[in-house]
Amino acid sequence: MLWSIDPSNDSMEKTLERMNEFAEGLRNTYDCSVQLLVDEKVKSLKMDMKSRHEIFFIFKEALTNIVLYSQCSDAIIHIDKVNSTLSIKFHDNGTGIEAQSIHTINGIEEMKKRAGVLNAILDIQSDKKGSSVILQIPLV
């Protein structure tokens, strides 16, 4: 995360670039198509570094769990600004994430803690038709 303390990287646009780089790395490593769809309005959002840091780590954990544990071939992430909310939605076509996986449980708990720091709502659903992770962050 050293890139985030460089003042030239202190923007939502740079955070989104980093998210795309992370998704690209998973796409190149695992047999899963990962699409990142970002609403243009999100790029110009003014958020503090701490909030962007928390969002990035939730993003990494959610996407890693989906790609590694859901056995999906396709994952789509939508990042949108809807009214005064930043919405990040992950969807995949896998077989679901096994809740018994120790890493998954620890990762989910970590995502919940980070969502709490953001005063965000985190909803995670998984079944045999796929997984969804929805993060809704109020913008102040």
Q: 79: pLDDT confidence band, cut at 50, 70 and 90?
A: very high
pLDDT at 69: 83
Tell me the two tokens of residue 38: 């970002």
Is residue 8's pLDDT more than 70? no
* Count: domains in the chain: 1
Instruction: Give the residue numbers spanning the domain of 70.
Output: 2-138
pLDDT at 135: 97
pLDDT at 83: 93
Long-range contacts of residues 18-22, Cβ cutoff 8 Å, at least 24 apart: 18/56, 19/56, 19/59, 19/79, 22/59, 22/60, 22/63
- Each residue's pLDDT tens digit, 27-76: 989 989 999 999 999 999 999 999 999 999 999 999 998 888 888 999 99
**23, 34 contact by CB (below 8 A):** yes
- Each residue's pLDDT tens digit, 81-125: 999 999 999 999 998 776 556 456 678 899 999 999 999 999 998
pTM, full prediction: 0.89
Q: How far apart are CA 8 and CA 76, in angstroms?
A: 29
Counting Cβ atoms within 10 Å, is residue 128 exposed (0-12), middle (13-18) or buried (19+)? exposed
pLDDT at 128: 85
CATH number reported for the structural domain that contains residue 23 in this entry: 3.30.565.10
Paired strand residues for 136: 87, 121
